[in-house]
Amino acid sequence: MGQNIFVPREVDATEPRVAASPETVKRLVGLGFSVVVEKDAGAASRILDGDYVGAGATIGKAGDAAKADVVLKVRRPSESELKTYKPGTIVLAAMDPYGHESSVAAMARAGVSAFCMEFMPRITRAQSMDILSSQANLAGYQAVIDAAAEYDRALPMMMTAAGTVPAAKVFVMGAGVAGLQAIATARRLGAIVTATDVRPAAKEQVASLGAKFIAVEDEEFKAAETAGGYAKEMSKEYQAKQAALIAEHIAKQDIVITTALIPGRPAPRLVSSAMVAAMKAGSVIVDLAVERGGNVEGAVPGQVVSSENGVKIVGHLNVPGRVSASASLLYAKNLYAFLETMVDKEAKTVVLNPEEELVKATLLTHGGKIVHPAFASVEVEE
């Protein structure tokens, strides 16, 4: 009998995703683990308990976390969940640590080895473990579906006997994984798509998807690409120039989708109230950064609101969770791919090597301490 893996039902009622799929359970069992899945853990992602059982898991209850060597989760464990874990438990989750330093300290106090999956390096061998990419990809798709559902016209050009319906103009701000998928989806639906990003490299990617790139392309822009592929924050001067260009462009758009995030910092404000006010009534803005403070002034987390001039601003929370069945399958694969790198296949146990590159990048707490350099200054004691 190998070590025990526990997959809880997420305690947050707004979280429909689950951290294991029948496919990953089967593989974990194949590696020699004993897997317990909490009853109904996959229900909101359309995975039935019977599917897990068929893959070799047993169905358990929340308290079974106490016997687990490894817990696979979507969201960071709450303090009450931590109380049920034994010290030394390995926890893989989207830890969302910035701004939640006291929760990081709580995980250290509980003695768990908490891995922050968002910190996975964007290197080739870790691509299959990258939860930000897998979830952002689906968020980008869903943002376009949500925009189309709110929009009061059709997206594609339609040539009919009664006249032509013009194609919608869609503008995607931020051409990372979410933005690129939003561009691709809007193009699929026949929209005229433009996009912007602070990284010059994005220009070619945007063009390859059939969209036009919109940016102030000065020296700072050209210098802004960072090694990790993330956007760094631009200067105030650049932001002002870019905002002027965007303001002019945005006033002509039917749909705007914003996807700009800066790790560890509030989302940059890309669309001001004045820009919203310049848009046509009936236009739709989807703010995918609303959980991080929002790219759009006036966006309200969890709500669809209308501006005074009739622009709808969509601020759905947990957008990947809106396509939970797809999101869970990919998220589960990400966690499996990472966990597998830590498995000693002879001993059928997880061996945590703090010096290993991926472990070093993602391990937040270990042995009662906060071990990640980004949180070195956080006090563990209450």
Q: Which residues are catalytic?
A: 122, 127, 130, 133, 230
Residue from 84, 242, 258, 324 touching a copy of itself (CB under 8 A): that is 324
Q: Does 142 bind a copy of itself (CB under 8 A)?
A: yes
Asked if 133 interacts with a copy of itself (CB under 8 A), we say yes
The least CB distance from residue 189 to a copy of itself, in Å, is 6
DSSP state of 233: P
Our finding on whether 122 is near a copy of itself (CB under 8 A) is no
Residues 6+ apart with CB under 8 A from 244: none
Q: How far is the CB of 67 from a copy of itself (least distance, A)?
A: 28
CB-based contact 358:126 (threshold 8 Å): yes
Q: What is the identity of the amino acid at 66?
A: A
Quote the strand ranges of 55-134, DSSP E: 58-60, 70-75, 90-94, 113-116
Report the first-to-last Cα separation within the chain, whole angstroms: 38
For residue 371, the number of C-alpha atoms closer than 13 Å in the C-beta half-sphere is 20
Alpha-carbon distance of 8 to 40, in angstroms, equals: 9
Q: Kindly state the tokens that stand for 214.
A: 């919109």
Scanning 84-92, 94-102, 152-160, 262-270 for contacts with a copy of itself by CB under 8 A, the matching segment is: 152-160
**Of the candidates 179, 174, 118, the residue with the CA atom closest to the CA atom of residue 143:** 179
307 near a copy of itself (CB under 8 A): no
**If you write DSSP's letter for every residue of 322-381 in order, what string do you get?**
GGHHHHHHHHHHHHHHHHHHTEETTTTEE---TTSHHHHHHEEEETTEE--GGGTTS---
Q: Which lies closer to a copy of itself via its Cβ, residue 64 or residue 130?
A: 130
CA distance 76 to 358: 19
Our finding on whether 35 is near a copy of itself (CB under 8 A) is: no
In angstroms, give the least distance from the CB of 262 to a copy of itself.
23
Strand partners of residue 258: 173, 287
154 or 234: CB nearest a copy of itself: 154
The answer to whether 257 contacts a copy of itself (rule: CB under 8 A) is no
Nearer to a copy of itself, 83 or 280 (CB): 280
Stretch that binds a copy of itself, among 61-69, 146-154, 207-215, 229-237 (CB under 8 A): 146-154
HSE-CB for 6 with a 13 A CA cutoff: 25
Given the complex with a copy of itself, which of 187 and 348 has the nearer CB atom? 187
- By CB under 8 A, what part of segment 180-219 binds a copy of itself? 181, 185, 188-190
How many residues sit close enough to a copy of itself to count as binding (CB under 8 A)? 49
Stretch that binds a copy of itself, among 80-88, 150-158, 218-226, 362-370 (CB under 8 A): 150-158
Q: How far is CA 262 from CA 31, 122, 217, 289, 294, in A?
A: 37, 15, 20, 10, 11
Among 14, 30, 48, 354, which residue interacts with a copy of itself (rule: CB under 8 A)?
48
Q: Which is nearer to a copy of itself, 191 or 231 (CB)?
A: 191
Rounded to a whole number of angstroms, the minimum distance from the CB of residue 210 to a copy of itself is 13
User: Tokens at residue 329, please?
Assistant: 């399958």
> Which residues would be at the binding site for a copy of itself (CB under 8 A)?
16, 45-46, 48, 127-130, 133-134, 137-138, 141-142, 145-146, 148-149, 151-154, 156, 158, 160-163, 165, 181, 185, 188-190, 280-282, 310, 322-326, 329-331, 333-334, 337
